[in-house]
Amino acid sequence: MEKMLTLIRTLPSQIEEALKTELPKIPDNIKRVFFSGMGGSAIAGDIVRSLLLDSGVEVDVIRDYTLPPYVDRDSLLIAISYSGNTEETISVFEEAIKRKIPSVSISSGGKLKEISQDAGVPHIEVKGGLPPRTALGYLFTYSLRLLAPLEGVSTLIEYVRGLPEFLLSLQKELEDEESEARELADRFYLRIPVIYSSSRLFPVAFRWKTQINENAKAFVHVAVFPEMNHNEISGIKNPEEKVEMLWLVFLRDEEDHPRIKLRMKLTADILRDSVMGLTFVDSKGRNPIERIFHLIYLGDYVSYYLSKYYNEDPIAIPRIDILKERLKK
C-alpha cells in the first residue's frame, strides 16, 4: 500500500485516539485563544477558529515570529508544531512564556517540548514519525478538546465523537474508481486549480491548496467570497491563454450566507466561458464538523490522486526541507 494513502486512511483512528488521551486543564478565565503554528500544524487552529466564529470566544491564528501586544493574560496561547522545531512557532511561544501568557504546547517532541518542560508549561505529546500534514486528526482533536470549558465547545466535541465513523464511510466513497475525488484530480491535471469558499470555510479551501502544493507539487490559487467579487472576478480574464487553463471549484456549505450562495452561482455564470471549467462541491454531513471534514477529506484524496498524475512522491517535500536546512546555517 502506498504510504501516503495509508496515512490518509489513519485520520479516523487519529481522532479516536486523541479523544481518549488525558489533556491538561486550561485556566478558567480565558477570554481569547491564540494559536501559533505554521503549515500543516496551523490548520488545526484555523478549523477551530472557524467552528467558534459564532461563539463568544475570539480565536486567532498567528503565523509569524512575533506575539502581538494585545495578547494578554486573559488569553490562552496554544503553540502547535508537529516537529516541535519550527522557528516561527518557537519564537512566539518563547515570547508568550516571557510575558507570562497562559500557554500550552502540542508537538511530537523537539524544542517545543524541551522549552515547555523547562518553563513548566503543559505539553501534549503527539505520536511521532508522521509528515505534519497527515497528523491533522491528532492536532485538531487535541486543540478542540483543550478548549472544552469554553462556550459552545462541548457540543462540538460531541460531534467529533461521531466523526471517525463518518470518515470511515467516506473513505470507501473517495477510493471508489468513480469517486468525486478522482474526477476532480483528473480535471486539475495540467490545469491550474482555483479554489473558492466562503470566508468561514477558508480553512478548508486553504487545506486543499496546501495539500495540493505539498502532495502533488502543483500550483493552486485560493480566494474567498464575498471579497473575490470585488476584485478577482475582473482579473480572471488576462492573459487569456493562461486563464483558459483554470479549473474553478466552488466549495459550498448549507450554512453559507444566502447572499454568498447567490454570489457563487452568479459568479460561475459570469466566469464560465473564460475558464477551462468549473465544479460545485457541496459539503455533506449531519453537523458543521462533519461537513468541514467531508470537504477536507475530499481535498486530501484529490491531492493524493493528483500526485499520481504528476508522478510525484506525495510524502517527499524536498524544497521545504532544503529551505529549512539552509535557514539553519
Q: Are 41 and 139 in contact (CB under 8 A)?
A: yes
Chosen residue from 46, 214, 253, 290 binding ligand F6R by CB under 6 A = 214
Q: Are 116 and 82 in contact (CB under 8 A)?
A: no
The dihedral sign for the CA sequence 251, 253, 256, 259: positive
**Which of 100, 230, 242, 329 is flagged as catalytic?**
230
Q: Which three cell numbers stand for residue 4?
A: 501516503
**Which of 221, 261, 284, 324 is flagged as catalytic?**
324
Q: Which is nearer to ligand F6R, 113 or 263 (CB)?
A: 113
**Which of 214, 217, 290, 294 is flagged as catalytic?**
214
**Is residue 39 near ligand F6R by the rule CB under 6 A?**
yes
Q: Are 19 and 160 in contact (CB under 8 A)?
A: yes
Q: Which is nearer to ligand F6R, 40 or 203 (CB)?
A: 40
Query: Could you give the C-alpha distances from 30 to 24, 33, 64, 96, 203, in angstroms and in order?
Result: 14, 7, 22, 15, 24
Q: Is 25 a catalytic residue?
A: no
Q: What 3-state DSSP class applies to 106? A: strand
Q: Which positions from 109 to 138 touch ligand F6R by CB under 6 A, shown as an x/- string?
A: ----------------------xxx-----
209-213 contact pairs (CB < 8 A, 24+): 210/39, 210/40, 210/43, 210/133, 211/133, 211/299, 211/300, 211/302, 211/303, 212/188, 212/299, 212/302, 212/303, 212/306
**Is residue 89 near ligand F6R by the rule CB under 6 A?**
yes
Q: Which is nearer to ligand F6R, 105 or 229 (CB)?
A: 105
Q: Is 324 a catalytic residue?
A: yes
Q: Which is nearer to ligand F6R, 82 or 250 (CB)?
A: 82
Shortest approach of ligand F6R to residue 209 CB, angstroms? 11
Q: Which is nearer to ligand F6R, 40 or 285 (CB)?
A: 40
Q: Are 101 and 57 in contact (CB under 8 A)?
A: no
**Is residue 38 near ligand F6R by the rule CB under 6 A?**
yes
Q: Which three cell numbers stand for residue 50?
A: 472557524
Stretch of 36-44, 222-230, 291-299, 302-310 lying at the interface with ligand F6R (CB under 6 A): 36-44
Shortest approach of ligand F6R to residue 141 CB, angstroms? 16
**Is residue 105 near ligand F6R by the rule CB under 6 A?**
no
Q: What 3-state DSSP class applies to 140? A: helix
Shortest approach of ligand F6R to residue 135 CB, angstroms? 8
Q: Is 237 a catalytic residue?
A: no
- For ligand F6R, the binding residues (CB under 6 A) are 38-41, 81-83, 86, 89, 131-133, 214, 317, 320
* Enzyme catalytic residues: 214, 230, 324
